[in-house]
Structure 1
Amino acid sequence: MQLTDPFDILLRLHSVQQFRDWESLGLGFNHIGYLRLARTAEQMELFARSVKIQEEAGFRSRLYQARELQQLVPHINPDGLEGGLYGPDDGFLDPYEMCTFLAEKVCTRGGNIFQFRELVGVTRRNGGYRLDTSKGGLDCDFVINAAGAWAPAVAEILGQTLHICPERHEAVAIHLDSPLDYTMPVVMDLVNGEGTGLNFRHEKRNELIAEIHKVRSPFPEDPDNYNDQCDEESKVKLAELFLERIQELPGARLGRGWAGLYPVTADHRPFVGPIDPAEPKLITAAGAGGYGIQLAPVIGTIVTDWIVHGDPVSIPGTEILSPTAERNVLAEHSRATATVRDTEKGL
């Protein structure tokens, strides 16, 4: 929730409400808090507006001055910081657990889930579609392309063009010889592209997870053939940034690293809706830029609106997420001076 753009906050208001409902039904959620760091007075002003928006919606957040940050993270080095924006109710969940939880709900309601089927073709017929897969055909009235980094390939099979760039991001585990006597919240050093991009949080009692939320490569990745391991150069850079911000953390050492893909649109907001107005039953739900889990509930609501009402009516303003021709353009990925919108999250 600790963002500065009112629309981004609006989307997450709806997501959080759904997550709370699911949590009441048994979905695990780790409320460790989220701290976004500010380096300038201007960023603190943006944070103050965010606090007001969240308070009006019934959510808790507050500003911390630089000298107060060690109340939240005793090991943090506040040098170069103005302060931070902290939400005590934010946190993280296990994506596998979430998917399993939702799959059980689908099956309980009579739905079917088919796994390990590759889409190989599509036939339009009788106002609907016949999807040809590696394990047989499926007849359906609507098709939702929610394939993440593979969404452009799926769109091509469906006879459409979808401009989404799969960006490669790396993360590393940080092992601790002894547990900390406090829980490290999610900490993010990035606001509207300013900051190092370093973020980290507690994963287990003796383990943190850290990432640099900026990309080095100017080129899109092939989701079927990319390096899913963390490069040594990246580990060194991450360690330097981490030790600069978190000092005197005894027994901290780098563990395993890995890489994943963030499917990103040209304007860094997800596509939700039909690409082609002539085919309103082909709906895209992709390009959330690594925030698919975080935005899944609100994206699902918008998709449902398209299916039931033919328009996103439940949440005012979300029509701007439609993949119009103006939005569905090829992004410029000469990222020598990368700009990152204020939808960054911790892992």
Structure 2
Amino acid sequence: MTASPHVVVIGAGTLGLCSALHLVEQGARVTVLEGQSIASGSSGRSVGVVGSQFTDPFEIMLRVHALRRFRQWESQGLGFNHIGYLRLARTQKQMELFAKSVEIQEAAGLRSRLYRANELAELVPHINPEGLEGGLFGPDNGFLDPHEMCTFLAQAVRTQGGEIRQYRKLLGVRRRARGYTLETSGDPIDCDVVVNAAGAWAPQVAQLFGQRLHIWPERHEAVVIHLDEPLGYTMPMVMDLVNGEGSGLNFRHEKSTELIAEIHKVDSLAPEDPDNYNDQCDERSKVGLAELLLERLPDLPGARLGRGWAGLYPVTADHRPFVGPIDASEPTLVTAAGAGGYGIQLAPVIGQIAADWVLHGAPVSAPGTESLLPSATRNIALR
């Protein structure tokens, strides 16, 4: 690799912009190509949650890297709402996993603690603890505005000399002796390396390079819940899902008289077309979500449904992101995609690892993340 390669990053969502920022910080010349506008894909339709309340040591390790960067960006002006994150447990076995998570997080410098079912009302006074064993709570977790995050990252990239070209679609690729010529809806671009961070469009981008990328765009819906008056406390992010078990319902504070709720767990029969899908919330879905919400928060005062929307989770077969080259013989084409519903919170570490692959040929700053390579055993059809 040249000392200062020209890298084109495809996609100006959080994964693409984090990749671009890590690259320019290390001296690469970077151009971001975005077919629409900044944050116009999955990033802009996210509910923006950032949390570390997981039970898998690897997943926690990824978030340790990400949270380190979020803290830095917050000190530089990025808004971050520290409302806390509560993951609910339905079984004693899940509580045992939570206890181990507390130990792992504490060793990594993250605050977390267990709450028994009869203690959950300390965090959420309106909660119905029926059917619950307790929860895992991280007081420093929370949410941010994904549009603000993307705007912040874009400015940081530009400040350090990177270029962002919006409304420039990638139409074709020609390989050169050293790199690529990218045919776009504007002028062609010559570059040394490409990072495919195109989210739900990443399979289409890979196909232009003659590669196959198995990412399933999965539709998810979110709804605003209006309240007649403030709750008198800040609702943390509450998630009813542990390693695939639970309803998938999650909800959090948005404003003093607003919550946002969604279902993290869905059963899609077919992948969505990112260029042609229903980006609004169906009325039937609103009703189903309201029923789950009222079951868990039965006495929520004056709650009523507001606007809803839908976005896409770019999902892989094992529900972990792809970061690195698909083909070891072509290290100049790096994938950074497939983070599912965790793209916002994993974007800093995914960008860090993608930059490592571009500049060092391995994830030197995050040992062990070679397992995120889109290898033949991982890059397989979801269904």
**TM-score, normalization: structure 1?**
0.94
1:217 to partner: Cα distance: 2.5
CA deviation vs aligned residue, 1:320-340 (integer Å, no higher than 9, x gap): 0001111111112xxxxxxxx
1:216 equivalent to 2:283? Answer no
Normalising by the residue count of structure 2, what TM-score does the alignment of the two structures yield? 0.86
SS of equivalent to 1:35: strand
Matched, 1:182 2:233: yes
Q: Equivalent residue for 1:284?
A: 335
Are 1:260 and 2:308 matched, yes or no?
no
Q: CA deviation at 1:261?
A: 0.3
CA distance in 1 between counterparts of 2:267 and 2:373 reads 29
- Assess if the C-alpha contact under 8 Å between 2:219 and 2:313 holds in 1: yes
Q: SS of the counterpart of 2:251?
A: strand
Structure 1 partner of 2:20? none
**Kindly, what percent of the aligned residue pairs are identical?**
74
User: Is the contact between residue 264 and residue 341 of structure 2 (CA under 8 Å) also seen in structure 1?
Assistant: no
Query: In 2, Cα distance between the equivalents of 1:273 and 1:200?
Result: 33
Cα deviation code 1:282-339 (max 9, x no counterpart): 000000012111111101111111111111121121000001111111112xxxxxxx
Compared CA separation, residues 216 and 232, structure 1 to 2 (3 A): farther
Choose between structure 1 and 2 for higher RCO, CA contacts under 8 A separated by at least 6 residues: 2
Residue aligning to 1:40: 91
Q: Secondary structure at the match of 1:316?
A: coil
Matching residue of 1:29:
80
Structure 2 Cα separation of the partners of residues 213 and 111 of structure 1: 35
Q: Describe the superposition over 1:42-72 as per-residue Cα deviations: whole angstroms up to 9, x where unpaired.
A: 0000000000000001110000000000000
Q: Secondary structure at the match of 2:101?
A: helix
Point out 4+ residue stretches in structure 1 off by more than 4 angstroms: none
Give matches, 1:34-73, under 5 Å: 34-73=85-124
Aligned with 1:317 (options 368, 373, 380): 368
**Unpaired segments ≥5 residues, structure 1:** 333-347
Aligned to 1:247: 298
SS in 2 for 1:209: strand
Is residue 164 of structure 2 the alignment partner of residue 119 of structure 1?
no
After superposition, the C-alpha distances for 1:65-97 in whole angstroms (9 at most, x for unaligned) are 000000000000001100000000000011111
Deviation at 1:126, TM superposition (A): 3.0
2:87 and 2:71 mapped to 1: Cα distance?
22
Distance, in Å, in 2 between the alignment partners of 1:201 and 1:55 is 24
Match of 1:340 in 2: none
Deviation track 1:232-252 (CA, whole Å, cap 9, x = no partner) reads: 111111111100000211110
* Alignment length (residue pairs): 332
Structure 2 residue identity aligned to 1:290: G
Partner of 1:232: 283
1:13 correspondence with 2:58: no
Q: 3-state SS of the aligned residue for 1:114?
A: strand
**Cα distance in 2 between the residues matched to 1:195 and 1:277:** 38
Q: Which residue of 1 aligns with 2:200?
A: 149
Alignment of 1:326 with 2:383, yes or no, is no
Residue 109 (structure 1) aligned with residue 177 (structure 2): no
Paired position in structure 2 for 1:271: 322
- Select the residue among 64, 84, 89 that pairs with 2:140: 89
The one-letter amino acid paired with 1:324 is S
Cα RMSD for the two superposed structures: 0.8
